Amino acid sequence: MRISKSFTLEPEISEFVESTKGERSASERVNELLRRAMVEEMYERLEKEAEEFFDRASANERVETRAFQNAASRSFERD
């Protein structure tokens, strides 16, 4: 189902769409470009989410690693 909308485009964007649409309509070309932009933004969000996840995991792991190292050092001192 297609929904008819009206948007204002900057002249250089309109020129780009016209020069790259080929046999398709301008609307089809704009939809294709918007879909590609949506996918790109989705990947950017996922990348940011992954960075935040691994940053948190690394900080927690460092605390646990230090605790393990301290415990191991005390164990070696006893032996």
Identify whether 37 is part of a domain: yes
The secondary structure of 50-61 as a DSSP string is: HHHHHHHHHHHH
User: How many distinct structural domains can be found in the chain?
Assistant: 1
Identify whether 14 is part of a domain: no
Identify whether 8 is part of a domain: no
Range of the domain at 51: 24-78
| pLDDT tens digits for range 22-53 | 999 999 999 999 999 999 999 999 999 998 88
| pLDDT tens digits for range 59-78 | 667 777 788 888 888 877 77
Identify whether 66 is part of a domain: yes
Geometric angle at alpha carbon 58, from 56 and 60, rounded to 5°: 70
Identify whether 7 is part of a domain: no
Q: 10 Å Cβ neighbour count for 33?
A: 15
Identify whether 58 is part of a domain: yes
Q: Say if residues 17 and 26 touch (Cβ distance below 8 Å).
A: yes
Identify whether 4 is part of a domain: no
pTM of the model: 0.65
Identify whether 68 is part of a domain: yes
pLDDT value of position 24: 95
